[in-house]
């Protein structure tokens, strides 16, 4: 076979040289046959090349598109994070504003982590408990006002019953008129009109109007005074013509509660603080009277001038009278006079009565008393000391005819008056400072929501 094909090739080569077949008819025949084939093949090649380029471009586009999708997803995630952070920031700002609105109490912020079935947050759970100082009956606030009260608590959770729950019942007060009422939770009314019920309103002067704010009253057993409950939505006279009833729109959106503030103080603890502050004042006043009595009967006796010593108890009695009012002036005077009666007086109760009335009369000047103005204290203390000595002379010496009044005036009343005035300049400011500190302590204990 090899030899045969070699012979054929040789014959063709010979024929090509001898017969000039290289560019003749064979080329034409080849042209007619192969050129269309080449064109077709070239077209197919170009088509395949174009498609390959297109596929490559498509792949590049798809890869770029995938990268863009990833970037879009990342940007979307960042945007959602920013929106969520902004939402949380707005909620925190609301809680901060609410915290600043009620500054008198320590509070702890908590997140809502669960709720009972239904549209409203009538019963829900928060993520703070006894580990954070929360106890049963502590008040819960959010938004613009009162949410409810803690009913159950664990180490890291607490359950809250809101004021819209059917079981809730609160002693309320219309802030503009101070008229008391009862606020009832009512889920049916919430579903229908997004309101809760108001009953037993005693509006004798007919001044309560729609839109008036309702707050917790001072006679509530569990709720601290003055927390905003909501605003009167409707009101009408009851069939007995004595009371009024209506509805209140809550200040809090009970359809959406995410964060709350729990007030870390209970009503009965507040009463104890007030009682403690008042007892502190009484003990302080008693100690002041005792110390001044001892100084008056010992140290100032030794520092007496012509056997005359200043009347420190008159300074104390008068000062607490015009600084605190008639009642405290009366009680301070009674105890001061009683000390003199027990240790020096001949008739028990004589000095107690004089000092008691002097303290009471000084208390009448409380409305015009200003701590920075010493003129009124000096005048009142001077007048009190003069009246005290005058009454002592009238009841003890005049009837016994022991001293003539001019002698008593020049040798006892006036010298003691001068000595007392000199000591007043120093002792008054000490008593004023003590009273101011006691008042600050009482204000912290008695401070309430507004």
pLDDT at residue number 180: 92
**Mean pLDDT for all residues in the chain:** 82
Rounded Cα distance, 299 and 242, in Å: 66
Using CA atoms, how far residue 306 sits from 53, 309, 411, 421, 422, in Å, is 126, 9, 9, 17, 16
pLDDT in tens, 188-223: 999 999 999 999 998 878 899 999 999 998 888 789
- The domain ranges of the chain are 61-101, 107-267, 272-448
pLDDT in tens, 114-149: 998 888 999 999 999 999 999 999 999 988 889 999
Given a contact cutoff of 8 angstroms between Cβ atoms, the answer to whether 207 and 176 are in contact is yes
Crossing angle, helix 414-446 and helix 312-324, to 10 degrees?
40
Domain 107-267 -> CATH class: mainly beta
Fold match flag (107-267 vs 272-448): no
Give the best-scoring range by mean pLDDT among 13-17, 86-90, 207-211, 368-372: 207-211
- CB under 8 Å to 427, separation ≥6 — which residues? 292, 312, 315, 316
pLDDT in tens, 83-101: 555 545 565 566 566 666 6
Give the best-scoring range by mean pLDDT among 75-84, 189-198, 342-351: 189-198
| CATH node for 272-448 | 1.10.1760
pLDDT at residue number 50: 65
């Amino acid at each position: 076979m090899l030899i045969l094909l070699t012979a054929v090739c040789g014959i063709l080569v010979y024929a090509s040289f001898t017969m000039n077949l290289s560019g003749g008819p064979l080329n034409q025949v080849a042209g007619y046959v192969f050129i269309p084939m080449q064109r077709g093949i070239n077209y197919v090649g170009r088509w395949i090349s174009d498609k390959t380029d297109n596929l490559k471009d498509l792949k590049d586009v798809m890869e770029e598109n995938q990268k863009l999708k990833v970037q879009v997803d990342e940007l979307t995630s960042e945007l959602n994070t920013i929106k969520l952070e902004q939402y949380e920031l707005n909620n925190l700002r609301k809680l901060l504003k609410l915290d600043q609105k009620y500054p008198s109490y320590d509070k702890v912020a908590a997140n809502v982590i669960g709720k009972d079935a239904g549209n409203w947050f009538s019963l829900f759970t928060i993520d703070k408990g006894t580990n954070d100082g929360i106890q049963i009956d502590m008040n819960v606030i959010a938004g613009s006002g009162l949410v409810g009260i803690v009913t159950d608590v664990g180490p890291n959770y607490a359950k809250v019953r809101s004021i819209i729950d059917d079981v809730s019942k609160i002693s309320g007060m219309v802030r503009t008129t101070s008229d008391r009422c009862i606020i009832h939770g009512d889920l049916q009314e919430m579903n229908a009109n997004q309101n809760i019920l108001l009953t037993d309103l005693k509006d004798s002067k007919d001044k309560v109007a729609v839109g008036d704010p309702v707050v917790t009253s001072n006679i509530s057993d569990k709720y601290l005074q003055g927390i905003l409950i909501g605003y009167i939505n409707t009101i009408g006279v009851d069939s007995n013509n004595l009371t009024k009833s209506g509805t209140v729109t809550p200040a809090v959106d009970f359809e959406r509660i995410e964060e709350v503030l729990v007030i870390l103080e209970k009503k009965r603890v507040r009463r104890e603080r007030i009682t403690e502050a008042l007892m502190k004042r009484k003990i302080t006043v008693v100690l002041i009277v005792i110390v001044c009595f001892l100084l008056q009967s010992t140290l100032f006796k030794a520092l007496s001038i012509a056997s005359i010593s200043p009347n420190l108890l008159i300074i104390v009695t008068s000062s607490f009278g015009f600084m605190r009012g008639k009642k405290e002036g009366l009680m301070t005077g009674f105890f001061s006079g009683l000390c003199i009666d027990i240790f020096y007086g001949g008739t028990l109760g004589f000095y107690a009565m004089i000092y008691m009335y002097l303290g009471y009369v000084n208390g009448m000047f409380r409305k015009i008393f200003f701590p920075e103005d010493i003129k009124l204290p000096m005048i009142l203390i001077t007048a009190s000391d003069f009246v005290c000595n005058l009454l002592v002379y009238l009841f003890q010496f005049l009837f016994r005819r022991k001293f003539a009044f001019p002698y008593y005036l020049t040798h006892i009343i006036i010298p003691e008056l001068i000595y007392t005035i000199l000591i007043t300049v120093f002792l008054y400011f000490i008593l004023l400072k003590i009273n101011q500190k006691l008042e600050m302590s009482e204000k912290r204990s008695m401070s309430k929501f507004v």
